[in-house]
Amino acid sequence: MTRRQQRRLISIAILIIFAAFYLYRQSRQQRPTTGPSRNYITCGTPCGTERWAVKTLSDADASSVNFSPRPATVAWLIAQPAPSPLPADSRVAPLELQAFTVRAQLIAIKEENDRDFHLLLADLNDPSATMIAEIPSQNCSGACASRYASDFESARRELESRFGMPANRFENIPGNVIVDVTGVAFFDFFHKQRDVAPNAIELHPVLSLHFE
């Protein structure tokens, strides 16, 4: 092989190496990522953990919820069987796929560590029958991405306009305050919460409040 042929082969090899490197770079740039897509929008600050997407209507099943509220009582809701085990980020049919409106006595309120407004409700005919309702903060992750964030904000403003900003400890509501609470049924884990329902059902999130 002549020196000229050797130089030509070296030049071809160099060109092949550059072409292979270029194609490799192109394939790396076009490869889809395994993380969130560009269409996934994050917002707000982390606030809660357990079943948080379900609590804030930012889960994949939220579009399957029937938001035409059914009338119910505290006593009826807390008598429903609790599912076991509870899924981490999906809903349990049929109750968690339905909104309800409950007329109840408001017993106490507080702001939780996850920034939810926490309401204690008692059945009008049986004050010993109690359950929890919670309103997420529209500034929290999950809640702020939900299409119902404005409903959370309106419900919180309704509560604040009546009682002021809830403290981080329970404040009992004096008198006989009657409220219509509309929210989506939700089964929580037991955390020894005050006045938790025996089946740990809640209205969570609350979508609207109307005081008598």
**CA–CA separation, 73 and 146 (whole Å):** 27
- pLDDT, tens digit, for every residue of 5-15? 666 667 776 76
DSSP labels for 123-153? ESS-TT-EEEEEE--TTBTTTTTSTTHHHHH
> Could you give the CA distance from residue 114 to residue 202 in angstroms, rounded to a whole number?
16
Lowest mean per-residue pLDDT among 20-24, 96-100, 178-182: 20-24
The answer to whether 177 and 114 are in contact (CB under 8 A) is no
Strands 98-111 and 66-72: what pairing? parallel
Range with lowest mean pLDDT among 40-44, 62-66, 78-82, 174-178: 40-44
pLDDT tens-place string over residues 71-95: 999 999 999 999 999 999 999 999 9
pLDDT band at 43 (very low <50, low <70, confident <90, very high): confident
Query: Do residues 178 and 105 lie in contact, with contact meaning Cβ atoms separated by under 8 Å?
Result: yes
> How open is the CA angle 47-102-126, to the nearest 5 degrees?
110
Query: Helices in the chain by DSSP H: which ranges?
Result: 3-30, 52-55, 74-78, 149-163
Alpha-helical segments (H) within 31-130:
52-55, 74-78
Cβ of 114: how many Cβ atoms within 10 Å?
A: 18
Give the pLDDT confidence score for residue 6 in this predicted structure: 64
> Which CATH code for domain 52-211?
2.40.50.140
Is the pLDDT at 39 greater than 80, yes or no? no
This prediction's pTM? 0.79
Chain length of the chain: 212
pLDDT of residue 192 exceeding 90, the answer is no
